[in-house]
Amino acid sequence: MNKVTIHSLFSDFDINLFKAGKHYRLYEKFGSHIITLDGVRGTYFSVWAPSAKTVSVIGDFNYWVDGEHLLHVRWDESGIWEGFIPDVGKGNIYKYKIQSNNNDVITEKADPYARRCEHPPKTASVVWEDSYDWKDNQWMKNRKKHNAIDAPFSVYEVHLGSWKRKIEEDRSLSYVELADELVSYVKKMNFTHVELMPIMEYPYDPSWGYQLTGYFAPTSRFGYPEEFKLLVDKLHQNDIGILLDWVPSHFPEDSHGLGFFDGSCLYEHPDKRKGFHPDWKSLIFNYERNEVKSFLISNAIFWLDQFHADGLRVDAVASMLFLDYSREDGEWEPNQYGGRENLAAIDFMKELNKEIYISYPDVQTIAEESTSFPMVSKPTFLGGLGFGMKWMMGWMHDTLLYFSKEPVHRKHHQNDLTFSMTYAFTENFMLPLSHDEVVYGKRSIINRMPGDEWQQFANLRLLYGYMFTHPGSNLLFMGAEFGQREEWNFQSSLDWHLLQYDYHSGIQKLITDLNSLYRKQPALYEKQFEADGFEWISYDDHENSVVAYLRKGNNKKDNLVIASNFTPVPRKNYRIGLPAQGELISLFNSDEKTYGGTGDFICENIIIKDEKWHYRDYSAEITIPPLGIVVYRIEGR
C-alpha cells in the first residue's frame, strides 16, 4: 500500500515556466518541504525524473525499503514525481530510488534540491528547514554602494577547510568559529570582500569543492546551514561582502549525484563531445535543455536569496564557451554556423546574468575566464555575456613571469609588465593571485621571487603595490598576505607561525595598509574600469626598469602619482613629468621599515617645479627605493 498522499506545490504556471526554462525559483517547489496537510505534519517531496517508471523515497523512516513510499507522476508530461509523506520531518535522512522505463536501470540518488546533506563520505540527503533571524538589514539596505563597480573591491579568497585548523583536535574551524575568527581577521586586514571556494556540498576533498553533488546545501563539513548563514551575517555586520565560487560548468560522476539520474542523461549532455570533460573526468551540463537551465539559474538565485551572497564568481567559464575546450580535432563538433562557440552555453550565461541583475542589481557576477572571448563583462543588451567583472588572467601570467626574472634581465622584458595596459579597459577586470597559482608545483608567490631573502620580500612588496595601484579590482588568496613559503595544502592550516618573523609580519602590515590606501583614495577605485582613470607618465625607461603612471578619480584633487623601481638599485633624484603645479604628498612607500624594508629612503612631500619633462609642463624629482613602489597625491596650489 502506498503511504504517499497526492499533493503538489506546482501550479500550471510553474510547470509552463519550468518546461520553458524560465522558472528561476525552483528551490521553492522541488526537493523536500516540511508542510502541514489536512492537519497532519509531514514532508512534501518532488523530483524531476522524466525517464522513470517508478520513484520511491527511501530513508531512515521506512528502513530504506523500496516501494513503501512511491511518489506520483504528474499528468502533464513534465516528468515531475511528487507526494506528501506524513510524519517525516526535520532531520530525517532520505534518497530517491528510481527505476527507469526500460526496467534495466535502478539508481539511488541524493535529492538535487536538498537543503542539507549528510557529512561526507555519507551521501544521503537530509530533510531540513531553518528560520534564521538575519541581523544584516543595514548592509542589505546599503550594499549597492559596497558592491558597485566604482567602489573599492579588494577580495580575500578563502578555502574554509584549511584557512585555520584546530591542531589539537585535527579539524577545521566550524562556521560558528569562522564567524568569529575569520571575520575579525578580514576586518583587521581591511579587505572589502571575502570569496569562498565552493561551500556547496561535495564528496571529494581533493576537488576543493569544484565538483558538486549538493547544489543547494552548504557543506556539512563545517556545520548546519543556519550556521553558515551566521557566518555571512557576521561578515555583513562588519561591512564585509561575501562572494561564493559557483560551478555551473561540470559535475562529478558519483553514483548518488546528478549523473545518469533517472537512467538517462538528464542533467548532462548525451553527446560525449559536449557532455564529458576529458581533463576533469566529469560531466557537462546540457545547456540545450530548458529544465537544466532553470535548475542552474535557480541555484544561482538561491544563494543570493536564501544566503544573502553579494555575488558569484563563476568557475571555468572558458570551458563552457568553447566546444573544442581541451579537445583535439575530431573530438568536437562545430556549432550550426561552423564555429567553435557553444551557443547554448553562451545563451545560458546571458540569461543567468540578466536574471541576477534584474532581481539583485546590488550584487556582482565575476567570470573566471582565461581567453580573449569578447565582451564578457559587458551588458547583455549590448551583446555581452553580462558579467559584472572578469578575472584578468593575462595580467596574472605576465606579471608573475616578469617578477620571476632576475632584476638584471628585467630591462629586456618590460613589455611583459606594461602590456596589460593595452587591453586593461576592454573588460571590467579583477586582478587575481588565486589558489590556482600556488599549487601543483607552481610554488608560492614569495618563492617565485628571485634573489636573497631581503630581495624576495622586497619584490613581493613591490608586486603587491603594483597590483593594488594597477587599474581594476583585486583578489589575493589566503596565505599570500603574509608571504607563506609552502604551496597551499588543502589538508593543513596556513603557516600562521610565520608571523613571528619580521619579514612575514611586514608583508601582512603592507597588505593591511594597501587595502586602506585603496579604500581611502578615490583615484584607485572610482574609475578602476575606465580608460580615463589611468595615464602613463613613463613606461619606456627599460634601462632603469622604472615605470610611472597617474591614477585619476572623478575629482582632479584626488589624482595619484605612482612610481615603481624593479631593480635593487635605488633611483635617487629621478625626474618625472607631472600635469599640474603644486606639491606631491607622500602616501605610501613599500620600503618602510615597518614592512621589512630598509627604511633608508624616506619619501617626503615634494614641491612640483615649473620644468618640462615627459612631454609635460611640470615635473619633480623623487626617490624610488630599491625594488620599491611609492605613491603620492598631487595637491594643487
| Residues carrying an active site annotation | 315, 368
Alpha carbons within 13 A on the beta-carbon side of 377:
27
- What are residue 268's DSSP bridge partners? 285
Angle between the N-to-C axes of helices 12-20 and 290-306, in degrees from 0 to 180, rounded to the nearest 10: 110
d(CA 423, CA 373): 13
Q: List the grid coordinates of 321.
A: 564557451
Do residues 269 and 251 make contact, with C-beta atoms less than 8 angstroms apart? no
d(CA 588, CA 558): 15
Looking at 281-325, which runs of residues are DSSP E strands? Answer: 282-283, 311-314
Other residues' Cβ atoms within 10 Å of the Cβ of residue 317: 25
Q: List the grid coordinates of 564.
A: 615603481
Q: Which residues contact 548 (CB under 8 A, 6 or more apart)?
A: 536, 537, 538, 561, 562, 563, 564, 576
Helix, strand, coil abundance in the chain, percent, nearest 5? 30, 25, 45
Do residues 56 and 96 make contact, with C-beta atoms less than 8 angstroms apart? yes
Residue with cell 548518488: 256
d(CA 228, CA 213): 18
d(CA 348, CA 297): 9
Question: What ranges in 121-250 are assigned the alpha helix state H?
Answer: 137-147, 175-189, 225-237
Do residues 159 and 489 make contact, with C-beta atoms less than 8 angstroms apart? no
Do residues 290 and 241 make contact, with C-beta atoms less than 8 angstroms apart? no
d(CA 407, CA 410): 5
Do residues 4 and 70 make contact, with C-beta atoms less than 8 angstroms apart? yes
Give yes or no for a cis peptide into 625 (omega within 30° of 0).
no
d(CA 352, CA 294): 9
Do residues 264 and 100 make contact, with C-beta atoms less than 8 angstroms apart? yes
Q: List the grid coordinates of 108.
A: 539511488
First to last CA, the chain: 90
